[in-house]
Structure 1
């Protein structure tokens, strides 16, 4: 644009920084910057905060716009000069442009062909309405501008010294509030971002580096921490899943124990009722026999007593006869006295029931023990050297597998820091990659890294107050049950439920010795029923 002036004034002095045209109805903000009235109104109408478009000073409420009459007069005269020179549009044209600035972008159609700012792109702070993409950010102005609004920085000589950088978000936060310069250094001593002036003034002896270098270092450390956190989250999630699975197993085991206990106590109740019925029948039988014997004795005594009474009456009658001849004649006619039975040794045993209840209870206990043997039968376990792992030494006691029945054995693990116990299918892999889980043909518990776990499809930690010193293993082949117990505390540890279709063999793994630890043997103990 060719401007003819008096030689003292230039177009830059009368250009609005919003519309980049000569002022029309210029007004001033409290901070002293001037703009076209329509441009400033439109700018504030489309802003959430009341900021000066030039210096970005913020106001708590919409400030009053002061009409700059001197600037208006000079601008009008300057406008007349430019019209006379044929290098500028008429005031009426200017008015029509500014009138539309409140409704949309005031200068996009005629002055700039830039693209509108998309999400993630820095918008122009000076645009009204839909904003164009910023090409540069001004450190001194603390704002970002599109190509149209950057022309002001190119035209106005006082703005030539402003530092322009690549467009950036939150520019105000990246400007030193004390020196109004870009924060391009990081003080490691004070852990703050500073500008070069701050570095020379109050951070000379401090450990400083560039923002970029510190950013790379911090992001690298952040990446490591994120990786560590992801690893911890993964571990904790896995542990949480194990605990949740353990809770499910605990509920299932508790339910099974309840069902088993109901069955056991139902069987025991049946035995008690049966024993009680037998005791009642025994007492009734003894009562009937004793009463019959006593009644027979009573009848014999009654007969003899009747005879004795009749004899006594006869003798009594003869004793009162006074006639001697009659007495002697009658006494010879008396029948001989009947033989008397010796009743002195005859007695009735009233202690018929002494010991009956004790005998019955003793018999009931025997039945209980027989029932318990059926429920938890012990088994003499003989290790099989053919199926032994190469690091396990087995004495020559023979070999044995289980293909039926109930079996129980106990293993002393008191001096061990690691072990694996359970049963395995005869066809389970013993070399190469071994899956210690039911899918691999193994039903086991182990102690490893100070934690007892059930080797199910996933490792299930058992929440035990302390490690068992002796482990009992119960196998019910037909039921597909393998249960583990803490023999000392008589606590159920874990139960596997599956289906066996081939012989299974006991597993005894003492595990390896580490730094002199875990060198004690596994001891298979003899099981006694009490």
Structure 2
């Protein structure tokens, strides 16, 4: 049995002449169907009076009979096609977000305006009445919108054209005369503009928050990367330190074993000597015992009496009663451990110093002396790396930047992060080094302490090293520094000084609160009758592995 879809297939309802769906279909005697106008025109033109499809000839003009069944089926087919077309058009408009005309009966056209009185959307053609009919020209038209019912006041059936700021809701004109009579009412457009501006500000804030969080993610990723790098460096440094410590322990163990072995060998050698001596005495005693036994068996009175005097003295033996072999090792390991502890302490301090120095040397910066800040008695080298105290003032103009007290600042300043530089002090009998803030008093002779904006250490005449705190802190150094490293961590508030050659920390200022630019500070001190004429030299940092 044929299905409905096959019965309603398009080719069954097409006119053979116009190739379109039947309009007023009629049947001719041969049984074929055509549009009434199409077959009429065909018969008028063709004198032979034959069927266009089967070519059957008719003796006279065939009678046209209306085919009611085909007519109804064609109408249904045409309606079905039109419905599908409209549905497709509506779906297409829905996908694009367009509002369609509510009046169009066929293919729906895009609406031009929506009427808040009629609650209907109109295309350009159907909007003509609202432009021509006097009554309808008073209607409230808006840009095309969907769900027009939601734009009407449910109580008064009027357009929601106003906004109640008191209740924060949309109202109609009648609402302002009843339940919202004493409330603060503004036009909907005014509130819209305000809210839109507020939304724009909120959106900008949200975008700012997004950007800040994206930057934070990048920062965290960089932190993880830096953490990985620091972890690798720390692991390598730790491996180096612990390997050295393990070697020290192994060396101490080998030395302890050698001491125990040597002590045992001495005891063994001494015992062997005692045994040999005892064996010789035993041999002598056995010989005497044989002579005594032989003499005691003689019956010759004369012989016994004559031989007795020669046997009477005691044999040459010593008293072994107090002879002892001491093989005690008590305290050997304890003394070795005490020595190892002392050695490890020195080794750890040295190794940690080396690792710490390498860490801060990563932040080395290029520093030069600033001629504009140099005291007039100071002489700077052309490359800005050396400074020494002259015998007389330089013939230079004074300026507010210039320092007193044989001092000079670095040309470079720092207001964030970490930095490090090294200064050779070899051959000098007095000096002061460190950092100073920008607003120090440059014309008065002040104590170089943090209270006055200086973080420094110094060597005074008499080989006394001090950290210039209040009061100053005497420093006990194992060696005389030839090169001093200065490290600053601005955010951490830390200023540290290192003996570069010994890889040892000299002193640290911690918990500092830096809020200004910091400049490297150098003080050549007085000449000390020519003994302190050696220059201070800013050195390039040797990043040794």
TM-score normalised according to structure 1 size? 0.50
> Is 1:281 aligned to 2:258, yes or no?
yes
Q: CA RMSD in A?
A: 5.2
Match of 2:283 among 300, 303, 306: 306
How many Å separate the matches in 2 of 1:253 and 1:349?
56
> Is 1:251 aligned to 2:248, yes or no?
no
Distance 1:388 1:193, change over 3 A: farther
Instruction: Find the counterpart in structure 2 of residue 446 from structure 1.
Output: 490
> Is 1:402 aligned to 2:422, yes or no?
yes
Instruction: Find the counterpart in structure 2 of residue 205 from structure 1.
Output: 182
Q: Secondary structure at the residue paired with 1:147?
A: coil
Instruction: Find the counterpart in structure 2 of residue 188 from structure 1.
Output: 165
How many Å separate the matches in 1 of 2:224 and 2:130?
71
CA positional deviation for 1:207: 0.9
Instruction: Find the counterpart in structure 2 of residue 240 from structure 1.
Output: 217
Number of equivalenced pairs: 332
Match of 1:137 among 114, 124, 129: 114
Match of 2:338 among 362, 368, 377: 362
> Is 1:218 aligned to 2:195, yes or no?
yes
The residue correspondences of 1:285-300 to structure 2 (distance < 5 A) are 285-300=262-277
> Is 1:173 aligned to 2:173, yes or no?
no
Distance 1:333 1:232, change over 3 A: closer
Distance 1:97 1:509, change over 3 A: farther
Distance 1:99 1:193, change over 3 A: farther
How many Å separate the matches in 2 of 1:241 and 1:273?
47
Q: Which runs of no fewer than 5 residues in structure 2 stay unpaired?
A: 1-73, 87-92, 362-366, 374-400, 410-419, 425-432, 436-449, 456-485, 517-545
Residues 392 and 509, structure 1, Cα contact 8 Å, conserved in 2: no
CA positional deviation for 1:256: 2.8
CA positional deviation for 1:193: 0.6
Residues 487 and 497, structure 2, Cα contact 8 Å, conserved in 1: no
Distance 1:219 1:476, change over 3 A: farther
The residue correspondences of 1:40-439 to structure 2 (distance < 5 A) are 103=81, 119=96, 122-128=99-105, 130-151=107-128, 160=136, 163-170=139-146, 171-319=148-296, 324-332=301-309, 334=311, 337-344=314-321, 346-351=323-328, 353-377=329-353, 386=369, 401-402=421-422
Residues 369 and 408, structure 2, Cα contact 8 Å, conserved in 1: no
How many Å separate the matches in 2 of 1:168 and 1:211?
17
TM-score normalised according to structure 2 size? 0.49
How many Å separate the matches in 2 of 1:473 and 1:253?
22
How many Å separate the matches in 1 of 2:219 and 2:499?
25
Q: Secondary structure at the residue paired with 1:196?
A: coil
CA positional deviation for 1:195: 0.9
CA positional deviation for 1:340: 3.0
How many Å separate the matches in 1 of 2:145 and 2:509?
70
Distance 1:118 1:167, change over 3 A: farther
How many Å separate the matches in 2 of 1:316 and 1:396?
106
Distance 1:131 1:320, change over 3 A: same
Distance 1:327 1:160, change over 3 A: closer
CA positional deviation for 1:99: 9.8
CA positional deviation for 1:213: 0.8
How many Å separate the matches in 2 of 1:360 and 1:103?
107
